[in-house]
Structure 1
Amino acid sequence: MADPVEFILGGLAAAGAGFFSNPLEVVKTRIQLQGELRSRGQYTVHYRNVFHAFRVIGKTEGLLSLQKGLVPAIYYQFSMNGVRLGVFQCIDNSGVTRNQQGKPIFGYTVLAGAISGAIGAAVGSPFYLIKTHLQAQANSSIAVGHQHKHGSFSEAFIKIFKTQGVTGLWRGSLASMTRVTVGSSAQLTTFSKFRSFFDNYPFLKSESLANTIAAAIFSSLAVVTMMTPFDVVSTRLYNQPVDTVTKKGLKYKGMFDCARKILQTEGPFGFYKGGIASYIRIGPHTILSLLFWREFRKLYFSINGESKDSKTVISS
């Protein structure tokens, strides 16, 4: 049975971590949009790497610009991960993802992660859409991708709703659901596996901070490798301009059309733009969110006289 507390605790933990990881999300978005549908050497490189991007954005737009899109980012983390973690934890609490010894069953864990990820991404998609628009907005001298020019989160929400309707708020959601499904399956599965593996060593017991950090570092490698191509496609679909009459995207017809065009114009490496920024972001975000979530759950269940362990993790 679904416990609403699991949804709330997971969402709060992810939102807290999102505050600290959002600057890397801004950098990742800019890099993913840089050179959109252009081959190497055919566009101006404003951001050479993650650290150069931080310097350029901070110098040109000010340090506060590194927190662009923070409001929808917080809403997205709370809604998407609250639902995702809540669904996954409820499935995990039911025991269907574990054997008689309490160890994770690989196939069932992957399926549970995929289902919970897809549901969470669908719920949070409008926030991710607006977050992408706001994070992509930049000074004209370093702008990349289409510039939507929203004044704020609320203004963007109202504008999209009035011009594109409810469906406009969920534009690109299929790509986002695929992105989170892949990332969720990879992370929830590998994190659980690594926690169980490291639990065999006395100094890396499952309830220790060292176990959490070690598992997060290794699982993040798998997540970035598998999720980044879908992440790039998702960012491009969310940020593309929309025809005001037909209400259709002007660059891409959908996820597969976007992937085809990226491959044709930017090559295979185009799918891994922003990959390093993603890994640098996912590591700390995972560790922070897991720590917040674990401590929130410990506090809540200790107050209520219960004891529950957390074997899952928050991503994206």
Structure 2
Amino acid sequence: MSLPGAQRASGTEARETVAPAVDLVLGASACCLACVFTNPLEVVKTRLQLQGELRARGTYPRPYRGFFASVAAVIRADGLCGLQKGLAAGLLYQGLMNGVRFYCYSLACQAGLTQQPGGTVVAGAVAGALGAFVGSPAYLVKTQLQAQTVAAMAVGHQHHHQSVLGALETIWRQQGLAGLWRGVGGAVPRVMVGSAAQLATFASAKAWVQKQQWLPEDSWLVALAGGMISSVAVAAVMTPFDVVSTRLYNQPVDGTGKGQLYGGLADCLVKIWRQEGPLALYKGLGPAYLRLGPHTILSMLFWDELRKLAGRGLHQGT
């Protein structure tokens, strides 16, 4: 499979095809590599997005103010290692979600669906939705682990998990199988729009950079430039859904597994808008971009380079 909009390089050497199963491994590996670098930004973003949800109850803790001050606050409360809270769950999520996402997108490209008008956007959205559903339990645990901190710095509900497996076991025991997919209604739209924006803009941006001939045709800098352009679109469309998703995943539940703060995606959107104002949907935008931006850039760069290596290996093997 080659990237849509840039199926063939303009030079003499065509890009090698990559099987969907290979894309599954490469996509998951690329995004896990990116996660190692961007997880600290995810921790800060999660804390900022949870601030303010208790305003309606008369309490409004705000221990995190601005990106750099929030980084310092996390370190003071949880130590330097606190910036990598939830890393294991984050890696599990990236592997599951992006493995499925890139595999499905590769199948769509192989079938020629991305060559149809709007096909890239539709394929990216559908692939993202499937990946988000599969990875939802891991994202649930990641969010809850990253929210956990000492009482003086706590925002949002505190779940007191000890590990990823312990969290999954606790949720399963208390809420059943459905509890592991609580919050998926917010996650699927978030990843759908993000995946569609990421894959479509990356392909278009990369093709545009190649057309300008500013960089060597096969250079990794082409993918880097494409990822940088794509990252802006991803952050812009994903952040409101990201805020809602964080709130839905972290909220406490009653004995029946029903959320105590929000009834679902629409209810969460309305409550945030009414209680905190429309700009609250862009809470943590700075850290969100600082996380989504580098993550998009690194994951797409790693994916593109790994696919080149796989394609060359296939060519040499044949």
Give me the TM-score of the superposition, normalised by structure 2: 0.89
Cα deviation code 1:164-186 (max 9, x no counterpart) = 01100000112100000011111
Larger displacement relative to structure 2 (152-161 or 286-295): 286-295
- Using the alignment, how far apart are the partners of 2:100 and 2:107 within structure 1? 10
- Using the alignment, how far apart are the partners of 2:137 and 2:78 within structure 1? 26
The yes-or-no answer on 1:92 pairing with 2:133 is: no
Map 1:151-230 onto structure 2 (within 5 A): 151-204=162-215, 207-230=218-241
Aligned counterpart for 2:150 among listed residues 139, 163, 180:
139
1:109 is aligned to 120
Cα deviation code 1:51-93 (max 9, x no counterpart) = 1111111122100011000111000000101110111122123
1:239 is aligned to 250
Map 1:256-267 onto structure 2 (within 5 A): 256-267=266-277
Larger displacement relative to structure 2 (151-160 or 199-208): 199-208
Return closer, same or farther for 1:304/1:212 CA change in 2, 3 Å cut-off. Answer: closer
1:283 is aligned to 293
- Using the alignment, how far apart are the partners of 1:89 and 1:218 within structure 2? 22
Q: CA deviation at 1:106?
A: 5.4
Return closer, same or farther for 1:177/1:205 CA change in 2, 3 Å cut-off. Answer: farther
Larger displacement relative to structure 2 (188-197 or 17-26): 188-197
Aligned residues: 299
| Preserved CA contact (<8 Å) 1:50 1:276 | yes
Cα deviation code 1:253-305 (max 9, x no counterpart) = 11111111101101101100011111111222122222322232233332222
Give me the TM-score of the superposition, normalised by structure 1: 0.90
1:253 is aligned to 263
Local SS of the residue matching 1:200: helix
Return closer, same or farther for 1:116/1:280 CA change in 2, 3 Å cut-off. Answer: same
2:314 is aligned to 304
Paired AA for residue 80 in structure 2 = L
What is the aligned-residue identity percentage?
50
1:310 is aligned to none
Local SS of the residue matching 2:171: helix
Q: What value does the CA root-mean-square deviation take over the aligned residues?
A: 1.9
- Using the alignment, how far apart are the partners of 1:301 and 1:20 within structure 2? 26
Map 1:9-88 onto structure 2 (within 5 A): 9-38=26-55, 43-88=60-105
| Preserved CA contact (<8 Å) 2:215 2:222 | yes
- Using the alignment, how far apart are the partners of 1:207 and 1:30 within structure 2? 40
Which ranges in structure 2 are unaligned for 5 or more consecutive residues?
2-18
- Using the alignment, how far apart are the partners of 1:45 and 1:153 within structure 2? 27
